[in-house]
Amino acid sequence: MNFNVTIKTLNPRYVASVRDVIPTYDQEGMLWERMMKETGNLKVDEPCYSIAIFHDEGYKENDVDVEIQISVKGNYQNTEHVVFKNVEAITYASAVLKGSYEYLTEVNTCVAQWVKDNGYQFAGAMFCIYHVSPAQTQNPDEMVTEICFPIK
């Protein structure tokens, strides 16, 4: 498959964040459940930018350090696991995957290679923006995920 890589900037935003070491990547949902359980009725910003940040360097089979974020409006008190914070703007290279997560590794490889081939340097942890996720659809063909690498 061929993916179109573009450079974008994510503006500063105020987020609800949960970060933890989880057993495997496919168990990220437990972080989203924790956030929803502890926060209830957050006022999400537009766009809401549902994001997962992968803090480990490189791929790991287990015990992965993952942070999830969602952009919110208003001010909130931290909970046991949810931290509310301001996040600075970030410039990144990305490609969009439409459909199931089956091709995530291929898209990651494509964007990372594009960064190297075009003279950029990696400038932070890789992240995904879930434009349409399992929270919005049960049909994997309808999912839209943007795979992002911060650059400088």
Q: What CATH code is carried by the domain that includes residue 42?
A: 3.20.80.10
User: Would you say the pTM of this structure is higher than 0.75?
Assistant: yes
The span from the CA of 70 to the CA of 50, in Å, is 5
The residue segments making up the domain with residue 31 are 6-150
What is the rounded average pLDDT of the residues 91-106? 93
**Domain annotation covers residue 1:** no
Q: Is the pLDDT of residue 1 over 70?
A: no
Q: How many domains does the chain have?
A: 1
Would you say the C-alpha torsion 138, 104, 4, 135 has a positive or negative sign?
positive
Residue 116 is predicted with a pLDDT of: 96
